[in-house]
Homo-oligomer: A and B are copies of this chain.
Amino acid sequence: MTAVTSHGTADLAVDLAPHNPRELLLRNPFMAASGCFGYGEEYAGVIDIQRLGAFVSKGITPERRAGNAMPRIVETPAGMLNAIGLQNPGIHGFVKKYPTLWDSWAVPAIVNISAEAVDDYAMMAAMLDEQPGIAAIEINVSCPNISRGGYCFGWDAEMSAEVTRAVRGVTTLPIIVKLSPGASDIVSVAIAVEAAGADAISLINTLVGMAIDVRRRRPLLANETGGVSGPAIKPIAVRMVYQVASAVRIPVVGMGGIMSLNDALEFFLAGASAVQIGTGIFVDPGLPIRLIDELSQWLDEEGFSSFNQIVGLANVGFRSGDPHLFRFREASGL
């Protein structure tokens, strides 16, 4: 696959798995985020999905899930809460349909996997390794670890690394580990999953939130809590991308509230080699495709010949591998 830019002259291509022989080459750094783009086909008649850098599927689980009761979404200030409950056909139902469909597509398709036990992650990854049409696996570690009393995998560096190692052991597919913003020390988690064999890191998943229905005197979501996404969380996401990008040497994929080229550039300059768009697609389905053209034009105007030149430009410690300096500055001075 060679890089194709439709407008402008700058090279938009980016490899998200430079250390993996199977590589993960994107034509441009704009991806659709997990849970916000179904399995790609939902948007096939709406936008030219083949132009995307890549898309990530809805989270797949070991068994089929009916999802949570309604209501599943609530709007919050400049954002939304969702508690879909991972409604999906399960890995077995999934492999019957999508790998073959995606194999005929030009756009790289990435499968997002969620589980509550390390073995289940590995089981799904092993099944996906044999399938056609799959460009990479994104591991969602924002799940409760049953064997640890439901403590979230993604809050703990060692637990996140364990999942990564297990998946790495069963597949040569590029692996992106998607971090949870609930981790106090996101940098330690990032360093641990890098060491455990992740090809790239994506962040951030939603932050756990809640809204109360004052009239009915109960939480608005049937599930009580949900995940906050959208512009409201952008400053938190940019900060975490900035920190992680200066601490690891593998590519970082940023997301959280991207609604415009300026938002995407914040992530790129902070050190993201690509971005995912989730809630922004709900609000404006044409957004990711439009951003490809806008980025291309911006790079030309600013005199860059390649997208890679802007990654990390605003990040003094970008890929310095020294997380501690930054962590200290962050906690002080607020």
> Could you list which residues of chain A lie within 8 angstroms of chain B, going by C-beta atoms?
68, 76-79, 81-86, 116, 142-144, 149-152, 155-156, 182-185, 206-214, 217-219, 223-228, 230-236, 238-239, 242, 257, 262, 265-266, 269-270, 313-314, 324, 327-334
Known A-B contacts A226-B334, A232-B233, A257-B77; A218 and B314 likewise in contact (beta carbons under 8 Å):
yes
Contacting A155 at CB < 8 Å: which of B156, B184, B209?
A: B184
Write the chain B residue with the least CB distance to A334: B227
Would A212 and B238 count as touching, CB distance under 8 A?
A: yes
Known A-B contacts A330-B225, A332-B143, A334-B83; A211 and B185 likewise in contact (beta carbons under 8 Å):
no
Tell me the bound Cα distance from A225 to B223 in angstroms.
33
A208 — which chain B residues lie within 8 A by C-beta?
236, 239, 330-331, 334
Known A-B contacts A82-B334, A334-B142; A329 and B232 likewise in contact (beta carbons under 8 Å):
no
Would B214 and A235 count as touching, CB distance under 8 A?
A: no
Would A269 and B212 count as touching, CB distance under 8 A?
A: yes
Residue among A84, A230, A236 facing the most chain B CB atoms (10 A cut-off)? A236
Enumerate 9 A-B pairs (CB-CB under 8 Å) in ascending A order.
Answer: A77-B230, A79-B232, A85-B333, A207-B236, A208-B331, A211-B266, A212-B269, A223-B329, A231-B232
Would B224 and A228 count as touching, CB distance under 8 A?
A: no
A84 — which chain B residues lie within 8 A by C-beta?
334
Besides A211-B235, A212-B238, 18 new A-B residue pairs in contact (Cβ under 8 A), listed by A number: A76-B234, A77-B232, A86-B333, A142-B334, A144-B331, A144-B332, A149-B324, A182-B184, A184-B184, A208-B239, A210-B238, A211-B238, A212-B270, A218-B314, A224-B242, A227-B334, A228-B236, A232-B233
A214 — which chain B residues lie within 8 A by C-beta?
262, 265-266, 269
A213 — which chain B residues lie within 8 A by C-beta?
314
Write the chain B residue with the least CB distance to A185: B155
Would A217 and B86 count as touching, CB distance under 8 A?
A: no
Q: Which 8 A-B pairs have the closest CB atoms?
A: A209-B235, A77-B231, A78-B78, A150-B328, A144-B331, A232-B232, A210-B239, A77-B78
Contacting A239 at CB < 8 Å: which of B77, B82, B225, B330?
A: B225
Known A-B contacts A209-B235, A239-B208; A151 and B262 likewise in contact (beta carbons under 8 Å):
no
Min distance, Cβ A270 to any Cβ of chain B, angstroms = 6
Tell me the bound Cα distance from A211 to B162 in angstroms.
33
Write the chain B residue with the least CB distance to A143: B331
Min distance, Cβ A279 to any Cβ of chain B, angstroms = 11
Min distance, Cβ A212 to any Cβ of chain B, angstroms = 4
Write the chain B residue with the least CB distance to A324: B149
A143 — which chain B residues lie within 8 A by C-beta?
331-332
Residue among A78, A81, A185, A235 facing the most chain B CB atoms (10 A cut-off)? A235
